[in-house]
């Protein structure tokens, strides 16, 4: 009897262990079942993309978020290079922009107010008196409808209804994410409206190219293909000026360690609590040109960014403070990442001479961003 009892226990333990192992479906250690739930009657899931180089990208339709990105370092070791959480429940418990497909309007709109065709629209004011990233219930907290087109592509769609967060028009949005064989994440945004509105979408991944969020970004080399930037006031709002980077700590036209610049005694760095600014790209919409490069000297991982947008917001995790615990119980410390958000300039709806963000019925909003990974040995 005792032998039989122990044999049954051993079988059950083996079965339980196998079940737990089966739950880990991704290279990054994510359990797909922890992303499968319902929020307000809508289902969430985890979509896994892989290419021939064994690179892996995990995406959830909750906020259209990139949850993990596994890429090889200079020694061939696979590293997860974005911040995020292990489950939908954690994303809900700890509101953040980690990896999200941001909309309806990425970045800030002054006082949450803009005028279009003579009509004034008031949006929520959720950041120093301004509307940030579409408001407190922007696209990062909405459920996209997700379809896995292939093992290398996912299609996300979302209907943002007229009046949502104060924005006019029913906006049909599409985000297509493709993983290519040259280790690039190719993101295409599309949208159509039935009423004049403003649109500005982006991806808000927090990149940590060391694959170790316990380390900050001080040693990362940053290069920006930009001669000018848009300064901000003490509330992080663009002033309307366009200033040259020449002779300032905002000059990243040559590869420069972030730590060399970010703590300098410079008014803009004080206003942004570090680097949290929009640069005006020299690429002028040419997606064949690299607009930004980030590199870790520790892992050799290089991230090149391409876009057809006129600007890029660089944010260096200045508000991470060690209070968030992310994937694999890792604490996300101060400046443990860099965000590279391709987009229209902040507050464009209130600055007539800046590239327009207006979308009208019969028109199609299109925007593209490519995050391409390689190694420098």
> Which residues contribute to the annotated binding site for beta-D-galactose?
107-108, 204-206, 276
- Fill in the DSSP letter of residue 220: -
What residue numbers does the annotated binding site cover?
Answer: 107-108, 204-206, 276
Tell me if 156 sits within 8 A of 61, measured CB to CB. yes
Tell me if 259 sits within 8 A of 218, measured CB to CB. yes
- Cα 85 from Cα 40, distance rounded (Å): 20
Element (H, E) at 283: none
Using CA atoms, how far residue 305 sits from 106, 225, 277, 335, in Å, is 18, 10, 16, 20
In 259-357, DSSP assigns E strands to 276-280, 292-295, 301-307, 311-315, 324-325, 331-332, 339-343
Say whether 341 is catalytic. yes
- Cα 130 from Cα 112, distance rounded (Å): 5
- Cα 278 from Cα 121, distance rounded (Å): 24
Residue among 204, 277, 295, 309 flagged as catalytic: 204
Nearest C-alpha neighbor of 86 from the set 47, 34, 141: 34
Residue among 56, 164, 295, 341 flagged as catalytic: 341
Say whether 130 is catalytic. no
| Catalytic (active-site) positions | 204, 341
């Amino acid at each position: 009897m005792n032998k039989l009892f122990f044999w049954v226990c051993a079988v059950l333990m083996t079965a339980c262990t196998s079940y737990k192992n089966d739950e880990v479906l991704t290279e990054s250690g994510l359990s797909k079942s922890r992303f499968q739930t319902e929020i307000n009657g809508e289902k969430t899931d985890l979509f896994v993309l892989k290419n021939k180089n064994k690179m892996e990208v995990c995406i959830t339709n909750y906020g259209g978020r990139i949850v993990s990105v596994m890429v090889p370092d200079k020694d061939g070791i696979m590293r997860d290079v974005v911040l995020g959480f292990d489950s939908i429940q954690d994303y809900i418990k700890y509101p953040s922009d980690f990896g999200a497909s941001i909309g309806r309007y990425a970045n800030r709109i002054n006082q949450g107010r803009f005028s279009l065709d003579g009509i004034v629209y008031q949006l929520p004011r959720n950041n120093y008196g301004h509307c940030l990233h579409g408001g407190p219930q922007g696209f990062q907290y909405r459920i996209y409808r997700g379809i896995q087109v292939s093992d290398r592509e996912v299609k996300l769609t979302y209907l943002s209804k007229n009046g949502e967060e104060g924005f006019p028009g029913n906006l049909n949005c599409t985000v297509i994410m493709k993983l290519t064989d040259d280790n690039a994440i190719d993101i295409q945004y599309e949208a159509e409206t039935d009423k004049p509105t403003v649109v500005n979408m982006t991806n808000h991944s927090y990149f940590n190219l060391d694959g170790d969020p316990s380390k900050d970004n001080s040693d990362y080399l940053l290069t920006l293909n930009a001669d000018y930037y848009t300064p901000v006031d003490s509330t992080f709002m663009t002033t309307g000026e366009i200033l040259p980077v020449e002779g300032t700590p905002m000059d990243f036209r040559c590869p420069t360690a972030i730590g060399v610049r970010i703590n300098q005694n410079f008014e803009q760095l004080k206003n942004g609590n570090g680097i949290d600014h929009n640069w005006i790209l020299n690429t002028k919409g040419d997606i064949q040109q690299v607009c930004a490069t980030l590199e870790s000297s520790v892992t050799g991982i290089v991230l090149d960014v391409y876009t057809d947008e006129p600007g890029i917001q660089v944010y260096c995790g200045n508000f991470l403070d060690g209070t968030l615990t992310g994937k694999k119980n890792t604490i996300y410390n101060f400046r443990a990442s860099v965000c590279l958000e391709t987009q229209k300039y902040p507050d464009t709806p209130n600055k007539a001479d800046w590239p327009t963000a207006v979308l009208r019925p019969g028109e199609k909003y299109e925007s593209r961003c490519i995050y391409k990974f390689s190694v420098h040995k």
